[in-house]
């Protein structure tokens, strides 16, 4: 007897970013040298003071269950971090620590969306949002943004997408996959519409420390009075502190939401790894010099990658203002042959680039933007140099 897959699970696609990264790893295991610009994860090691805190916690026997929603000391450190950086006012009872920001997003959607509710998702969007929204039974309503608008949601497009079923807006700032950043004024315009239509906003701010050109980050709940009551902020240590494997992320939400998420998590996973939670305390409370250093290195790489794209005739990309992605337009190259193979779509382009030149990227269609490709510049300068030499060769 074949066990039938549930309707909800049948509708969920695997993560394309992780799938491309797995393909690159498979080629590597076969002995190929692969230039991997697919997955978005810092190539730096986790700073040593953070690893030391984890080792100390382990040696001290802090290896047991913690409170399901996270250690009180960590929740305090998270609130202090947000309150001092942004002038918000969060209490530990509004914070839930989860197994990465991805899990925090799942918890946020699951706790708040009903089947049939509509959630507005500006495209290009990070691969997991649409699938996680669908898992809650709600409907992602994709709103296209344009390269000309820097891939940012305009107030007009936002308002036009609202129906009586709309409950939520998802805003990723800085954006994965486009690297675009909203100014405070742009956020105010969107926030006013959310308030006028009584919507709540999930603000994924996991890349808030990775901002370039001296720009100042505006955290969504701070842009209008009262917004904290209709916002769920998502953040974590994965990107800021090069801690992707430690699996610590969090949400900050109105107390009733945080309370329900705590209950859900106590049934689903219990606490996130106790050792990682001690490491996260050290990350948030320790010397922030490591973050500045990594950010500065990412900015250099951003400049380099933008210059390489600008030098390829027919390719374009808006300037990345934050995060570590560049999202480039490859439409001029579609319909052409490369190495005897006709390239019809962005997926063909990425697969042939991987097969022929051993450079891994992710197709824009996975982010709801066919005709584009995402490259992560969270890779060493040498890797980026060779990868872009090969991309230039591939395009002939
Ligand atoms: N949000 C965005 C925009 C991301 O790019 C990622 C990267 N995986 C996440 C959330 C999840 O991060 P993690 O689960 O590693 O904390
Ligand atoms: N957020 C990263 C990316 O987009 C990590 C992979 C994932 O979780 O999808 O590549």
Quote the pLDDT of residue 182: 98
The Cβ-side half-sphere exposure at 99, using a 13 Å CA radius, reads: 11
> HSE (CB half, 13 Å, CA atoms) of 250?
29
Q: What is the mean pLDDT of each run of 10 residues along the chain (396 residues)?
A: 93 87 91 94 97 98 98 98 97 98 98 98 97 96 96 98 98 98 98 98 98 97 98 98 98 98 98 98 98 98 98 95 98 95 96 96 96 98 98 94
CB distance 321 to ligand 1 below 6 Å: no
Q: How confident is the model at residue 368, as a pLDDT?
A: 96
CA dihedral 33, 35, 41, 46 (to 10 degrees): 50
Cβ–ligand 2 contact at 221 (below 6 Å):
no
Q: How far is the CA of 396 from the centre of ligand 1 (A)?
A: 35
* CB 362, CB 350: distance < 8 Å: yes
367 prior amide bond cis, ω within 30: no
Q: Give dist(CA 228, CA 200) in Å, integer.
A: 10
Amino acid 299: pLDDT: 98
| Both tokens assigned to 75 | 């929740």
What are the C-alpha distances in Å from 110 to residues 12, 288, 332?
15, 33, 41
> Would the CB of 19 count as within 6 Å of ligand 2?
no
Specify the pLDDT at position 115: 96
Establish whether residue 18 lines the binding site of ligand 2, counting it when its CB lies within 6 angstroms of any ligand atom: yes
> If you write DSSP's letter for every residue of 318-332 in order, what string do you get?
PPP-BTTEEEEE-GG
Q: In the prediction, which pLDDT does 14 show?
A: 86
Helical packing angle, 381-394 and 346-357, nearest 10°: 110
From CA 99, how far away is CA 87, in angstroms rounded? 26
Atom of ligand 1 nearest to the CA of 104: 14
67-to-54, 135, 279, 280, 294 alpha-carbon distances in Å = 18, 26, 16, 15, 32
- CA–CA distance, 190 with 171 (Å, rounded to integer): 10
User: SS in 3 state form for 52-120?
Assistant: HHHHHHHHCCCCCCCCCCCCHHHHHHHHHHHHHHHCCCCCHHHEEEECCHHHHHHHHHHHHCCCCCEEE
Question: Does 96 sit in the ligand 1 pocket, CB within 6 Å?
Answer: no
* Domains assigned to the chain: 7-45+290-394 (3.90.1150.10), 48-285 (3.40.640.10)
pLDDT of amino acid 396 = 84
User: Do the bridges between strand 372-376 and strand 362-363 make them parallel or antiparallel, or are there none, so unpaired?
Assistant: antiparallel
Rounded to the nearest angstrom, the distance between the alpha carbon of 97 and the centre of ligand 1 is 14
């Amino acid at each position: 007897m074949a066990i039938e897959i549930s309707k909800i699970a049948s509708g969920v696609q695997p993560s394309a970013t992780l799938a491309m990264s797995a393909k690159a790893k498979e080629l590597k295991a076969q002995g190929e040298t692969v230039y991997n610009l697919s997955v978005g994860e810092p190539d730096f090691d986790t700073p040593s003071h953070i690893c030391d805190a984890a080792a100390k916690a382990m040696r001290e026997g802090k290896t047991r269950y913690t409170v399901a929603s996270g250690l009180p000391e960590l929740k305090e450190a998270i609130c202090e971090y947000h309150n001092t950086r942004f002038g918000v006012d969060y209490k530990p009872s509004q914070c839930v620590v989860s197994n990465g920001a991805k899990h925090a997003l799942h918890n946020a959607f699951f706790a708040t969306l009903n089947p049939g509710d509509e959630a507005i998702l500006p495209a290009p969007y990070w691969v997991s949002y649409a699938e996680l929204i669908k898992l809650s039974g709600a409907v992602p309503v994709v709103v296209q943004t344009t390269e000309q608008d820097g891939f940012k949601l305009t107030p007009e497009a936002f308002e036009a997408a609202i129906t009586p079923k709309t409950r939520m807006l998802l805003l990723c700032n800085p954006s994965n996959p486009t690297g675009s950043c909203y100014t405070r004024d742009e956020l105010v315009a969107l926030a006013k519409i959310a308030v006028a239509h009584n919507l709540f906003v999930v603000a994924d701010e996991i890349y808030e420390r990775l901002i370039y050109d001296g720009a100042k980050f505006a955290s969504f709940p701070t842009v209008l009075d009262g917004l904290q009551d209709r916002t769920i902020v998502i953040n974590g240590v994965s990107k800021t502190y090069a801690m992707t494997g430690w699996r610590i992320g969090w949400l900050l939400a109105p107390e009733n939401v945080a309370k329900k998420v705590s209950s859900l998590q106590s049934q689903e996973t219990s606490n996130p790894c106790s050792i990682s939670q001690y490491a996260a305390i050290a990350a948030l409370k320790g010397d922030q010099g490591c973050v500045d250093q990594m950010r500065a290195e990412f900015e250099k790489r951003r400049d380099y990658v933008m210059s390489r794209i600008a030098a390829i005739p027919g390719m374009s990309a808006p300037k990345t203002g934050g995060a570590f992605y560049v999202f480039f337009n490859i439409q001029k190259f579609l319909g052409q042959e490369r190495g005897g193979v006709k390239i019809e779509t962005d997926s063909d382009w990425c697969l042939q680039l991987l097969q022929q030149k051993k450079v891994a990227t992710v197709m824009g269609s996975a982010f709801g933007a066919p005709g584009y490709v995402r490259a992560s510049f969270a890779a060493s300068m040498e890797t980026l140099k060779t990868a872009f030499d090969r991309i230039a060769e591939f395009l002939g």
